[in-house]
Copies of this chain bind each other. A is one copy, B any other.
Amino acid sequence: MTIEYLSQNLAFEGTQHVCSHRSRETGTDMTFSVYVPPHMPGIKLPVLWYLSGLTCTHANVTEKGEYRKACAEHGIIFVAPDTSPRGDDVPDATEEYDFGKGAGFYVDATQDPWSRHYRMRSYIENELPEIIAENFPADMARQGITGHSMGGHGALTIGLRNPGRFRSISAFAPIVAPSQVPWGEKALARYIGDDRAAWREYDAVALIEDGARAEHLLVDQGTADNFLEDQLKPSLLAMACAKAGMMPEIRMQSGYDHSYYFIATFMAEHVAWHAERLG
């Protein structure tokens, strides 16, 4: 698996890489970013995955996320994938910001015409970890996952489905129950089909209802977030966790909105929280 380095910049004494490669899962070229903090040669470092939200690429968090200082201090590798397959031959819904390109929802689509390329679940769960392990000084036994909005949904569901792989899960303003909100209902119906039972593995609340557990779970949610009431609904996660006997930290952050200003404010705390759990 060959990767191409599109850029490499020194930052906080580590290196911010942006890479592209041909993906076997999506059948397209894919771009991702990896920050490798300063470290002694030969040692391997824990990895924090960050999954981005609707309309984003790897670039949003890479430019605005303010994670590098904390990752340098804690010795954490930070991986930021794209949010969907890309390219002229990938079907899209060009009039819709919340479906198609930029809106992969971290599923393996089963419905035409989406099933050929929209395989972000397998891309994140299987293919990209192999590439990270092969090309960077990553200790794959110590991984955490976080994300924002649609990417918070991705972090929660991928983390909950793979408890042996991810020791710690956090999210910024996640979609916690896509089956119960307009963004999720629209995406899952078209990517996965009308059988709502098939949606449950792509819904954090349903996964917990069905028995999935996470020991370490942190969520930050701004109270001034425009999407809080209609799309995000953190209370559904809180209720599911309570019923399951889980003790997540769900923090309502007064006055914060859905933007990267919110994410950047709490990013260093998330990095430190994961670092503590990843050892």
CB distance from A61 to the nearest CB of B (A): 11
A256 near B10 with CB under 8 A, answer: yes
- Verify if A122 is at the interface (C-beta below 8 Å from B): no
CB closest residue in chain B, given A257? B9
Q: Which of B63, B66, B261 contacts A9 (CB 8 A)?
A: B261
Complexed CA–CA distance, A257 and B9 (Å): 7
Complexed CA–CA distance, A137 and B12 (Å): 32
Residue from A9, A13, A69 whose CB has the most chain B CB atoms within 10 Å: A9
CB distance from A270 to the nearest CB of B (A): 14
A264 cross-chain contacts in B, Cβ below 8 A: 11-12, 66, 68
A262-276 toward B: CB 8 Å interface, digit per residue (1/0)? 101100100000000
A10 near B224 with CB under 8 A, answer: yes
A9 cross-chain contacts in B, Cβ below 8 A: 257, 259, 261-262
- Verify if A255 is at the interface (C-beta below 8 Å from B): yes
Complexed CA–CA distance, A264 and B9 (Å): 12
B64 near A63 with CB under 8 A, answer: yes
For window 240-268 of chain A, which residues contact chain B by CB distance below 8 Å?
255-257, 259-262, 264-265, 268
- Verify if A179 is at the interface (C-beta below 8 Å from B): no
- Verify if A16 is at the interface (C-beta below 8 Å from B): yes
B63 near A66 with CB under 8 A, answer: no
CB distance from A115 to the nearest CB of B (A): 36
CB closest residue in chain B, given A255? B10
A50-68 toward B: CB 8 Å interface, digit per residue (1/0)? 0000000000000110101
A12 cross-chain contacts in B, Cβ below 8 A: 264-265
